[in-house]
Chains A and B, each alone.
Chain A
Amino acid sequence: MENSHVQQELSIIREMIEKTKRETAETGYLFIVPGIHWFIAVVALGMIELNGPEAILKPIGIIATISLIGTSVFIAIREGMKEKVNSYPKILFARLWIACGISCIMTSAVFPYLGVYPHHMSPVTLFLVLGIGFFGTGAIYESRLIQLSAIVWWIGSLLMAVETGPIRLIIWMGVIFFGYIFPGLVLNRQYRNRTAPHET
């Protein structure tokens, strides 16, 4: 009787912690949707670069970048509006990606524009920053797979530094798929696993 009272109190604590964990799980949509968007944009730009008129390459590149940033911001706001709980991992995740997002804009747009390095070298630094972002994300959500996806970005960065030919397009595609869409799918699977018992 006495023991059951204590056990009841402990089960309340356990149940609440579980419910909070489910509520604070990351959906991964922030990577999946922009990742697919980015993948399509890179393929399209690569095709234009190889076969199409060079004059439209820059305007299409700018449109693709702006719409990619727009999609990411839209999903981040939409996910934020649905949140009922502010957890420390979510706060860390948001701050990490704000820092990485600013660094990405600087390394891929501002520095090449200022002539710090040629435009075709921007993926080298961009990929380094994204690698840090995914390494941190993996640590926050305790996923070794996401942490390992950071290596894809760092290897991609190295390959982009030495490769200047058409193989860059394949490197881009591989890195976006395994380094961007794949971590999103891992997070989404974690989210579904956590929410599944809640729905039944």
Chain B
Amino acid sequence: MKPDQILRLDPVVHAPIRLAVLSVLVTVENASFTFLKEATRATDGNLNTHLTKLEDKGYISIEKTYKGKKPLTLCSITAKGREAFLNYINQLESIVRGQKSDHNKMNE
């Protein structure tokens, strides 16, 4: 990865747990805190910190509700978060494409 390309990558999405959270949320309407914890294998505190960062940036919304008598935290991606995630994917794609063309040039 070239230094200028790394600089262009969104630092909020770049962290592995935050990238994992957005990857889940981009495919669903919403996901519970429990599922995100299981999927990312993060601890409660760690996941909470990352979710707060994403929420502060406006990438996700967090709703605290109840399922029966049990408290339930539901997370969903916002339009801004979806756009940021798709931009991130596009940048990864362009990096891969760049690396492929560099590799081809070297072979020639």
B12 at the interface (CB under 8 A from A): no
Q: When the two chains form their complex, are residues A6 and B30 in contact, meaning their CB atoms are under 8 A apart?
A: no
Minimum distance in angstroms from B15 CB to a CB of chain A: 10
In B73-108, which residues have CB < 8 Å from any A CB? 74, 89, 92, 95-96, 99
Q: When the two chains form their complex, are residues B1 and A2 in contact, meaning their CB atoms are under 8 A apart?
A: yes
B68 at the interface (CB under 8 A from A): yes
B31 at the interface (CB under 8 A from A): yes
Minimum distance in angstroms from B94 CB to a CB of chain A: 10
* Contact-residue size bin, chain A (C-beta under 8 Å from the other chain): 20 to 34
Which A residues lie within 8 Å of B1 (CB)? 2, 5-6
B24 at the interface (CB under 8 A from A): yes
B58 at the interface (CB under 8 A from A): no
Partner of B30, one of A2, A3, A16, A85: A85
Partner of A12, one of B23, B28, B67: B23
Q: Which of A56-64, A86-94, A174-182, A185-193 contacts B (4 or more CB under 8 A)?
A: A86-94
Partner of B28, one of A6, A81, A85: A85
B19 at the interface (CB under 8 A from A): yes
User: Is chain A's binding surface mostly helix, strand, loop or mixed?
Assistant: helix
Q: When the two chains form their complex, are residues B68 and A24 in contact, meaning their CB atoms are under 8 A apart?
A: no
Partner of A9, one of B19, B27, B29, B30: B19
Q: Residue-by-residue, is B12-24 near A (CB-CB < 8 Å gives 1, otherwise 0)? A: 0000100110011
Using CB atoms and an 8 Å cutoff, list the residues of chain B in contact with chain A.
1-2, 16, 19-20, 23-24, 27-32, 34-35, 38-40, 67-68, 74, 89, 92, 95-96, 99
Given contacts A19-B24, A19-B39, A20-B27, 17 further A-B contacts (CB under 8 A): A3-B96, A6-B1, A6-B96, A10-B92, A13-B23, A17-B24, A19-B38, A20-B39, A24-B28, A84-B32, A84-B38, A85-B32, A86-B29, A86-B30, A87-B28, A88-B28, A91-B29
30 A/B residue pairs, CB under 8 Å, sorted by A: A2-B2, A2-B99, A3-B96, A3-B99, A5-B1, A6-B1, A6-B95, A6-B99, A9-B16, A10-B92, A12-B23, A13-B19, A13-B89, A16-B40, A17-B24, A17-B27, A19-B24, A19-B38, A19-B39, A20-B27, A20-B31, A23-B35, A24-B28, A85-B24, A85-B28, A85-B35, A86-B29, A86-B30, A87-B28, A91-B29
